[in-house]
Chains A and B, each alone.
Chain A
Amino acid sequence: MTTAVGQSVSRKDGIGKATGATKYADDLHFPGMLFGRTIRSTIPCGRVKSIRMDFDTSGFTIVDYRDIPHRNVVALIDEDQPYLVETEVRHMAEAIVLLAHEDREKLLGANVVIEYEEAEPVFDPERSPHSFKDITIEKGDVEDALASAEIVVEGTYRTGHQEHVYIETNGVIAVPEHGGIALYGSLQCPFYAYKALRSVLGNDHPLRVIQTETGGGFGGKEEYPSMIAGHAALLAVKSGRPVKIIYDRVEDMVATTKRHPSIVRHRTGLTREGRLVAMDVDVILDGGAYSTLSAVVLSRGCIHAAGPYRCDNVKIFGRAMFTNTPPNGAFRGFGAPQTEFAMEVHMERIAEQLGMDSLTLREMNALRPGDMTATSQVLKQDASALECLQEAVRRTDYRRKREELKGTNRGIGLALFYHGAGFTGAGEQRLASKARLDLTATGARIMVASTEIGQGTRTMHAQIVSDALGVPYETIEVAQPDTSVVADSGPTVASRTCMVVGKILERCALEMKERLEGMTPAQYHAKHGAFSIVKEHIQPEWMRWDDDNYQGDAYATYAWGCDVAEVEIDRDTYEVRPVKVTAVQEFGRPIHPALAMGQIEGGTVQGLGYALLEHVVMKNGAMANPTLTNYTIPTTLDTPELDIVMLENHYDGGPFGAKGLGELPMDGPAPAVVNAIRHLGLDLRDIPAIPETLIACASL
């Protein structure tokens, strides 16, 4: 029996946030603190010829690449991105010089004159000469199957950049302590920042990274904080004083990562009845000027590119291309929203060409337990594509509406989708995450690096420990992530914090319970004192993954969803208004129903913005509309009625049957909305579907 899990208990961070007592990075002050500022490139491609400080430099700390004590490289996957430009500039807003001063006005007034030798930039990923990563997934013989297919349908689909718009912009404070640095910051992954600081400062300094209360991340605070942390640390080391760097909204939008734009081409072979026999998919992501996480975003994108469908012959070829634009990076969904968008709009076009109903087409081809995915993973009983589809169709009376609404200004469309939980393939095994649980005088304290970024990590982890340990939820504390004290439970990304880290914590709690031998934590503590339990992730023993050929069990499990969007169009103005979205999603089971509902609502609205509103305008390699006046995200009035259904299908590998949920809701809304617009008779294949795009669309 559970008393906390499955209940919408009060949030661990709720009171502090509701009363305004919670301190965010910019609320923190340290004695003698300086403010930091980043001087950035104003060309997209070229070389720095000279740098001149055109101001009175007294009182300033000035850092360029020559001040870096160890390596001028942001430690991530490929290690190609410098903290500070040496001579080569690869994108707009690339950091070149750092300044710090105790007076913000003086800091903002400082004029650094940089002379460049400009070179010809590359902005079109299709014309780029350089790919950061190529991935090929191959099953069966696609060319053979296409040649013998009764029908072949082709199509190209495009998605734009998307900005995270977390409510709190990026910000950190580097504080000198004990001959080293303590780095406080708004971030998702304290140990990523730790590793990055080691790379820039070397191994001689003591280091710790402390996550401050974080106002949203959505992936935008996965890898980027490593950059800003390094900058603040360099200024702090040189000045010997605490240095705070907080980006304003414009700087945050111009300089930091965004969702990768994509171009996805499909060539699909089918029988006349509509059975998929061959899928040839070409995926291009615009990686920007450095590799950052593009290789793994591409990997997840490619693995999800064939959609939740069975097909014996699949070839997916993906490339993440270099362009002279600020690097794109992690964003909720991590490549899957782009490729699943293409797949789901393509399915609609296949149905149109076959002259069949797209629902029947999906039902016929949807992955079922026992079926094989594109990577030849055989699905277990926790595959719920059909259940989601059928429930969504039933609740919305989809078939009847699809007929009845024809010829009106209201359209209805759906999207079927899925999302692998946790790191891909052997990723979780390599990470080998650890969690620690400390017994306290009143209960237990969770000691993990997993971060609360608004999604409910602390609450959800405490619920799991509370029930596994059999003690009241209120007696479970959660430590602030500080790399010097907590276990490295891995990054807070990839829909893994509940399923993977939650499971390790559950095992910690179960072992602690055994050690307590029937005593309460208080009784045990009084008698024997405190102790800790540390556990490491255990990869399911059945998982096999071939990283060279991208074949095998890509994820331990998948969450599944079906979104139905109903939209209205004004044919005078091409305004599209979502009227209702029904989201049926299966993610094992909700640990905290209200928080899970919040994840689905938030992800759905973020997906609606991606589909209809959010347009990053790039000019000469930089975002030209980097303000919230010109980059529009949905408000409450743009949010339609949401009907959210949480289907349960317990996954044995997760805590109390839970899978990951964070990213799934982002995958469905864009294709569902675009398919609803297709139902209105517009041949739309690209997002964002702003009125100018719609007005140029051919009629079906």
Chain B
Amino acid sequence: MIFQGQNNPIEEFFTVLGYWDRIFSGFLATMWLYGWALMIGFFLGLFLALLRQYGGRIFSRFAAGYIEFIRGTPLIAQLFFIFYGLNIPIGQWYILTEFRIIDKEITFIFLNHRVLFGIIALSLNSAAYQAEYLRGSMMSVGTGQILAAQSLGMSRLACIRHVVLPQTLRRVIPSWSNEAAYLPKYTVVVSLVGATELFAQAKSIVSVTAISLTTYILVAIIFLVTIAIISKGLDIVHKRTGIPGL
């Protein structure tokens, strides 16, 4: 029997916890989206930053234009454009796996058209921001060192590989951690095209139990703890790779 209007927070909390399988499934989906978007965004962003900094006139303008466009339009709009606007006839299919934990059946969707477009939109978006973080770090490597590399006979490519990039990648960690901390929260928009990530699962729990405050607070706490762990992890990486004077 459900006591409508009974606001016992402890009871509510345990009711919500009863749906832990949905929460866990949603959390996995969120992390999956996040991980892929961050990684693809990084490599694409690095490519864009190099293009912007070292490309010829045409390429660097192209990269700059792309970055400006992505940064100037809302992520939701970009996602909807890719998902609904482009209308790519990819059909409804899925690749998933199911496993049991204790007594609950948990489905983890590796890929379906919602997840795919979600990852694409998030990656393209994240790449633009990461490109700017990386470019800022690149520029902080003084031109003097580049002159020195040239004076040794290093080609442009060798100079980027051996002088600029090692320093850039170490220096970018503090600003990059900004993106790493933001992105999990941005993955929520993919729920708007039907992917069953953490926020969508939260909504489904609310629709069943009518306990909204506790559910959303729980989700917020999950985000908070996850992002705190990620930030701390990056902090440790930054310290470990520290070089005096860099």
Note whether A and B form a binding pair.
no
Q: Which residues of B contact A (CB under 8 A)?
A: none
